[in-house]
Chains A and B, each alone.
Chain A
Amino acid sequence: MSDTQNLTLVQAVRDGLSTELREDEDVVVMGQDVGRNGGVFRATEGLYDEFGGDRVVDTPLAESAIVGCAVGMAAMGMRPVPEIQFSGFMYPGYDQIVSHMARFRARSRGRFTLPMTLRAPYGGGIRAPEHHSESKEAFYAHEAGLKVVTPSTPYDTKGLLAASIRDPDPVIFLEPKLIYRAFREEVPEEPYTVPIGEAATRREGDDVAVFTYGAMTRPTLEAAETLAEDGIECEVLDLRTISPLDREAIVDAFERTGRAAVVHEAPRTAGIAAEITAILQEEALLYQEAPIERITGFDVPYPLYALEDYYLPSAKRIEEGIREVAGFSP
């Protein structure tokens, strides 16, 4: 058994970056304030001192060039890990993400590959100013050529980050900043990976399958415990990867329960919940015993924080949504 450290999620990000910087000299961390300052959330704390300014690079304030330069570096075989300070500021780099990061391998028929990992904190609930709380993972899941990863625990964060950095293809690594410091977990000091594309069962149950990810995993589990007191047993699947989805695990959980809810803080329309619903229609229609419930953020611009608790799915809202599913009879 290797040694472990008791880390928060954001400390696991830092530890994962540090481990990969040590493991592979082609890894470069770059972005605004990631160097001397150690990142606005401390996700790169100490890395500049340990690895120097050529490998932990403070860049000018320009998202398109942060992504675009990483594209050029990755095309040359480096493994850049650019950070966008908040996912709400990825849009100036969006053209680079969609037109190049996602397509370089396909365009060049495999001559050039982009082993790069674009990190960004995402999601709401931290009483932040406008543009600092959005969940737009569906934008990136819609884009062929990208993988989209959203960890929900410190252990998974380090392992998924390592898997992303070592992956031959570009990864959008979205970190749930609401739970950056919410709890601690034992995290091995040794390098390890958690495979991209595999969901994790966080709770077993036979009545309703509940699919969620990122910061919504905790209130979903809380709701499941409350429901268990009333005899409703939820199977809670933490997707961990948004693209590619673990279709097998999703379908399997649904076939065992016949009922499903999907929880995410992103808006409802054309979101991940819609995709999961479509998968279940295609692959497990005859197992279905109730309408699939989407418990999500609303289709409105993300509010300023006085109203964000109404916007984000709470444990109560999740509980009530699952109750609908469990209680449905034709």
Chain B
Amino acid sequence: MSVFDRAYDDPVRVLDEDGTVVGDVPDLDEAELVGIYRDMRLARHFDERAVSLQRQGRMGTYPPLSGQEGAQVGSATALGETDWIVPSYREHGAAFVRGLPPEKTLLYWMGHGDGAKPPEDVRAFPIAVPIASQVPHAVGGAWASKLRGENDVFVCYFGDGATSEGDFHEGCNFAGVFDTPTVFFCNNNGWAISVPRERQTRSATLAQKAEAYGFDGLQVDGMDPLAVYKVTEAAVEKARDPPEGRLRPTLIEAIQYRFGAHTTADDPTVYRDDDEVRKWRRKDPIPRLERYLRSEGILDDDRVAAIEAEVEKRVADAIETAESVPRPEPRALFEHAYAELPSELEAQYAEVETLREEHGDAAFLGE
């Protein structure tokens, strides 16, 4: 029986909160399992350091992801090499799995445009801030891939709030009509800033919205990285090579929680109580997988310590790299608006340089 043949409100599970196996464990070797653990630790540690950098005034507003590592890492690990992710603005952990250097993410939130330029060999779209607006892009990208006979799969990330947006509906609808190899991955963390999931829709689940578009939808325990891996792998496989009678797209509703604020500018104590946070912290994806891997003899204290050290060094190096990048030259303001700089923009740039030559950068930056 296919993983897709289940009730919409019956989330796929593999590990329970204690790391006990409660479902079929996906076929992953030891290195892959440790890889998921390490990448979640990387995402968590990165997140903690990033929030701290913001608090210290070393970085601008930042959207934390802690609690959502299982969904991000589990899903991104399930992609093939030529597949793409189309993220919103919180999927740093998924992007790292795809090969985005963490210093890129830091640079972006430090206000450097280069942070939104994924390296050529990283198959990730740039961050999309307007909610759900990236959903049609993932459909268009997948559509192009299908038209060219490549069938690379496009995994689109968005939150529960995004499912109320028109672009979510329009994107899913096009994906169904044109049967594009798209996986719609909803990070349902329960809150769209302060608005709870119940305020987004009277639909009993988000997963069931897929039915109206003619393709599969299912829930998964988004705090269980192995369950997330399992459903994403199945969805990716179906997108690439659908069996008779099923459409390529899938809507995955990954039920999860953000432990922290919406962004560093947000105070979640205003709208949710500590009991709820405590309840969800018990479902933390990282200790859950760690317990399982220890029980399987795959992890022990030494290996965990080595991973911790590796992750800490990677993040420290990324911070050092990002902070050593100087402010870009003002030319960067203009150079990517068009393929060729129009003469009017050349003239506007000249205004900047003339003032600079006369008064230095103080003319712009103040004292």
Contacts and interface: CB of A to CB of B under 8 A. Distances in A.
A112 B125 contact: yes
Contacts, number: 129
Contact of B177 (A60, A75, A96): A60
Given A73-B140, A78-B147, A107-B116, A145 B170 contact: no
A298 B171 CA distance: 38
Given A28-B147, A92-B166, A108 B139 contact: no
A49 B147 CA distance: 18
Contacts of B120: 111
A289 B277 CA distance: 72
B143 interface: yes
A65 interface: yes
Contacts of B116: 107-109
Interface stretch (B256-264, B335-343, B359-367): B335-343
Interface in A65-108: 65, 67-78, 80, 92, 95-96, 99-100, 104-108
A102 B214 CA distance: 32
A252 interface: no
A188 interface: no
Nearest to A247: B344
A65 B139 contact: yes
Given A72-B139, A76-B145, A169 B339 contact: yes
A65 B125 contact: no
How would you classify the secondary structure of chain B's contact residues: helix, strand, loop or mixed? helix
Given A109-B117, A247-B343, A72 B142 contact: yes
A200 interface: no
A113 interface: yes
Nearest to A76: B144
- Chain B residues touching A, range: 35 or more
B337 A65 contact: no
B136 A68 contact: yes
B49 to A, nearest CB: 25
B133 interface: yes
Most chain B CB inside 10 Å of its own CB: which residue of A78, A80, A167: A78
Interface of A: 28, 54, 57, 59-60, 62, 64-65, 67-78, 80, 92, 95-96, 99-100, 104-113, 144-145, 147, 167-169, 197, 244-245, 247
